[in-house]
Structure 1
């Protein structure tokens, strides 16, 4: 299964713990905050000014 920008941050971290490091490298500590339960990856990336295509590519490389 590929990670997509529509997937929830919490969902991805729960299923793929290796992605925590990727999120951290992008300055997204979101997996520990309440918003991670409600935001998808795209929303989190936009809130942090992160290139979503690069983030998704790196998340998929990690898994």
Structure 2
């Protein structure tokens, strides 16, 4: 199975579909989900704008989504 989200995925759409994303964002101090810009921003843009490694965090998000889906 492929990844559920990518750098190009919209932040709000991902957060609505996969609530586990909120926990990961909080872990890294990202307030993107509550930010007005999030409706038009991608995961890659939002994470990178905070100086964080988007690839690493998106990989963590995809692993968490996969774990949730197997429950």
Question: TM-score, length-normalised on structure 1?
Answer: 0.91
- For residue 34 of structure 2, what is the aligned residue in structure 1? 32
| Structure 1 ranges of 4+ moved more than 6 A | none
> Which protein has the larger Cα radius of gyration, Structure 1 or Structure 2?
2
- For residue 68 of structure 2, what is the aligned residue in structure 1? none
Matches within 5 A, 1:8-47: 8-47=10-49
State the shift of 1:29 in Å: 1.0
Where in structure 1 are there 5+ consecutive unaligned residues?
none
Question: TM-score, length-normalised on structure 2?
Answer: 0.82
Where in structure 2 are there 5+ consecutive unaligned residues?
66-71
* Equivalenced residues, count: 63
